[in-house]
Every structure is written in C-alpha cells, then in structure tokens.
Copies of this chain bind each other. A is one copy, B any other.
Amino acid sequence: MFAKDIYIARRRALIGKMAATAPEGKRGIALFVGNAEAAAQYKDNAYKFRQDSSWLYYFGLDEPWMGAVIDLDSGEETLYADDVEIDDIIWMGPQPSVASKAAAVGIDRSAPYGAMTVAVTKALATGRNIHFLPPSRYFNTMKLASLTGIDEESVGKVAPIDEDGGRHASGELVKAVISMRLVKEPCEIEQLDDAGALGQEMHSVARDSIRIGIVEQDIVGKMEGVVLQKGWGVSFPTILTQHGETLHNHIHDTIIEPGKLMVIDAGAENNMHYASDFTRTYPTSGRFTSKQRDIYQIVCDCNELAFSLTRPGVAYRDIHIATARLMLERLKDLDLVRGDVDAMVAEGIAGLFQPHGLGHNMGLDVHDMEDLGENLVGYDPDQKRSEQLGLGSLRMARRLVPGNVITDEPGIYFIPALISKWKAEGTGKDFVNYAKLESYHDFGGIRLEDDVLVTADGARRTGPNRLPIQPDDVEDAMSSPAMSSPAMSSPAMSS
C-alpha cells in the first residue's frame, strides 16, 4: 500500500471533480463495491484474490468483501467491512480491526459490511444520486443490483446520472476516475518500472529457455514461476505460440519446431498490482531466415518509429497511422502490396497485416480501465473511433499528456482466414498482391511491444532493461543465454 496521504489526496481530487457535476446538496453519494473472492472450483477454493483496480486506486485495501461510500456533499467517507471472529482467527490468524484498516488509508468511519445496504437504502429513500462504476465481475453486478434495486442488466450501463432516474452506472463518476487514472503519479511510475523489471526478467528467462523439442507450456510455467517469486502473477494470460498469426493464442501444448517464429506476449503484475506487457518474437532455431528477417525488421522499425514520435500533444491515433504508413511502404518494397501508399493508408490496407491497434493505456490494469468504457478511456471527446480493421481496434487514440503510460506494439501477421476473407470479398484488391501472399501462408506472425511513459518533453520506456529487439541483438542473445539463466543451469526444470 502507498502512504495514506496518497489515497486521501486522490479521494479529495475525486470529490472535487464530482463537485462540478451538481450544486452542493445535490451531488449524492459515490458507492464503491470492492471485489469478493471468486470461486475457481467450489466457493472456498477461490482464484488468487485480485482487488478491483479503481478500488485499489482510491482505497488501497487489498482484501475481499469491502465496500465504501463517499458522501459527495458532506465529504464523509465510510469503509464497510466485517471484523473477524474467533473462528476466523484460528484459520486466518489474528487480523487488524476494520477501523485500523480504514485509518491506514485515511478514513475515519467504518461499519459492518451489511451496513452498506442501510446507507444506500437511506440515500435512495431521500432521493439522492447514487454514483457507481460499472461492475466487471458477476459478484459486483449482483451486489450493486441488490444494493440499489437496479436490475442486473442495467448496472453495467454507463450514462449521465440524470438519465432514466440514475438507474445505471454513473457517466460522471466514470469520467472523473478516468481523468485521474490516465495520468500516472510518480509513485505509480515507480511501480510500473518495477512491474517492467519483473516482466523483462520473465521474458529473458523465456528467451533463454527456447529449445527445439520441448513443449511450449514448459517455458510458460518457467516464466510465470519467475513472476510468482516476486510479484502477484502474470498481468494477463501468457501468449506463447508458434502460431503468432492467432493474436490471442493461449494454447501451449505444441512442441517447439525448428524454423518457426515464436511470439511471446506476456507481462507481470507486481505485488502492488501494477502491470507490464511486453512482446518479443523469436526464431525458434536461434536465427531468422531472410524471409523472416525482412518482415521482422519492418515491425521493429515501426516499433522504433512509434517511440520516436511519442511526446505530449501528439495524438496516439496519428502515431498508429504513421506506423501503418511505414509498414505499407516497406511491404510495398517486398511487393506484398502495390500502389499509392497514401491511398492504402486511407483504405486501411494495413489492417490486413495488423488487425489490432498500436497500443493501449496501462496501469493497474494491463488494458487500463477497459471496463469503464474503451472509448471514454482511449479517445478524446473530439475523436471518433474508426470502423476500419486495425485502426478501429486502436484502444488508445488520445492526444498524449505527461504521465500517460501506453504500449507500443506493432505487428505483422499472415492470417489465412483473414486473407481468404478479404480476397473473396475483393477487399483491397487494388493494392494487395494476393498471389505473392500465398507463399506466406505458413509464416505466422510477429509482434514487438514495449511499454512507454510519456514524459514532460518526450517519452521513455518503462522497466530498466529493455529486451533485445534488433534482429542481430536477438540472435546474439539467443546464442549466448546469460550464465545465470535457470534454463541453462537446471536441466531438471525443463525436462
């Protein structure tokens, strides 16, 4: 947990932002429901507890079964949670009191968990606004619906509090939270660098573990073990695949074969729950073929271009487009596309090769605040989301400001199903050399991703040890894995 002043200041700032939404006495309450344990199998065998990210941001307490109400008119704050009984102490050990937990994050008042119902019922009875964030989990959906009497389908809808009698999540609260979480504080940047270090360590172990003949899962387990030794766990399910053309491939039962490209997209969540998210693509044999290297270098150059353009005031949407342009220019050199590059950019031809966006915000969530609404998080009010494949998947389009933390992750993929679809529909027929594309049918995909902090006058990558990315450097690293690498020194773990 951070020092309590951090949480006090954040809640003050939130109250300040919400003050602008209504005159004093008309603001109502902000209701926060923390996460509960989530059953993996039966109820008492739960997944590793992960607190709600906005709860962590404002309340810091990393425990299940908590709630809080901030009175936006009086400023009064109450933490709702239950003190433990003697039976719990036998199983869980002595626990600090709820009052002391509240005090640790600067909250004076606490009450039993069940009393949250009383507080909300009272607010409802007196016609006060009840601002809450859209729930991510089924538990929170059920709990919010039960507290407010709103049906479960509606508690996840985001709209201004004046609409439909406020029977939905609060657009005002969502926007206020986004405006704060988008700009990382120094204490958060420290955590993101820490998560970056851990992510870079796991990637290094993974790279040094690549061996022909082993199962992909063997590497996945090893790299995730590295994270669990020092952090909370992976920040999202690891992608480690020789089928990089499948963008979110979570199957790891394939034997590593020579001559393939292996995409490793993985990150760490540290014990403070900040994320990292890196991607590298490795030739399984340790050296790129010249065909692989040609495509790899394009992706690598797009990654570098994006970083070089990243600075305050520039819209990330424009940087996405700049990398799409470079990608098309270079694919044109390879005769995979033909014609006028400006026209191809306008037509969204890059989407055939990179059907995803250049990057997304990152913080307590690896796709930061995704459930608050992708467009509200990633788009300025004057930006309209594209409907093109690729650009339309861009999660972060905003004009950058210092403190933004974003990913820079261009990729080129040869996706047979997508190529067939475009070809059959005649999409891009004036530009795409479908005949030549046929020889890339088994190529796979390449993605290269760093995490980037927007600084006062430019940008820097987070994490202390950038993973090798230039093709020569990658080959060098693969030919001489660090002597300290567990992959080299403990055959037992990769057996």
Closest chain-B Cβ to A405's Cβ sits at a distance in Å of 16
Contacts known (A90-B415, A249-B93, A493-B486); A221 close to B217, Cβ less than 8 A: no
Map CB proximity to B onto A337-365 as digits: 1 under 8 Å, 0 otherwise.
Answer: 00000000000000000010000000011
Closest chain-B Cβ to A178's Cβ sits at a distance in Å of 13
- Which residues of A in the span 42-60 have a Cβ within 8 Å of any Cβ on B? 42-48, 50, 52-53
Contacts known (A50-B41, A136-B42, A492-B486); A220 close to B229, Cβ less than 8 A: yes
Interface size on A, as a range, is: 35 or more
A314 surroundings in chain B (CB, below 8 A): none
- Which residues of A in the span 1-54 have a Cβ within 8 Å of any Cβ on B? 38-48, 50, 52-53
Map CB proximity to B onto A237-272 as digits: 1 under 8 Å, 0 otherwise.
Answer: 100000101111101010000000000000000010
Closest chain-B Cβ to A436's Cβ sits at a distance in Å of 21
Q: Does A418 contact B (CB under 8 A)?
A: yes
- Which residues of A in the span 461-493 have a Cβ within 8 Å of any Cβ on B? 482, 484-486, 489-493
> How far is B91's CA from A251's CA once the two chains are assembled, in angstroms?
12
A490 surroundings in chain B (CB, below 8 A): 484-486, 489-490
> How far is B415's CA from A494's CA once the two chains are assembled, in angstroms?
41
Instruction: Choose one: B221, B243, B246; the contact of A230 (CB below 8 Å).
Output: B221
Q: Contact check, B221 vs A136: say whether CB atoms are below 8 A apart.
A: no
Q: Contact check, A243 vs B93: say whether CB atoms are below 8 A apart.
A: yes
Instruction: Choose one: B47, B243, B367; the contact of A47 (CB below 8 Å).
Output: B47
Can you report 21 A-B residue pairs in the complex whose CB atoms are below 8 A from each other? A39-B137, A39-B138, A39-B371, A41-B53, A41-B366, A42-B367, A43-B371, A44-B367, A45-B370, A47-B50, A48-B237, A93-B245, A94-B417, A217-B229, A217-B230, A218-B229, A221-B230, A224-B224, A482-B492, A484-B492, A486-B489
Interface residues of A (CB under 8 A from B): 38-48, 50, 52-53, 86, 89-94, 136-139, 141-142, 152, 217-218, 220-222, 224-230, 236-237, 243, 245-249, 251, 253, 271, 355, 364-367, 369-371, 415, 417-418, 421, 482, 484-486, 489-494
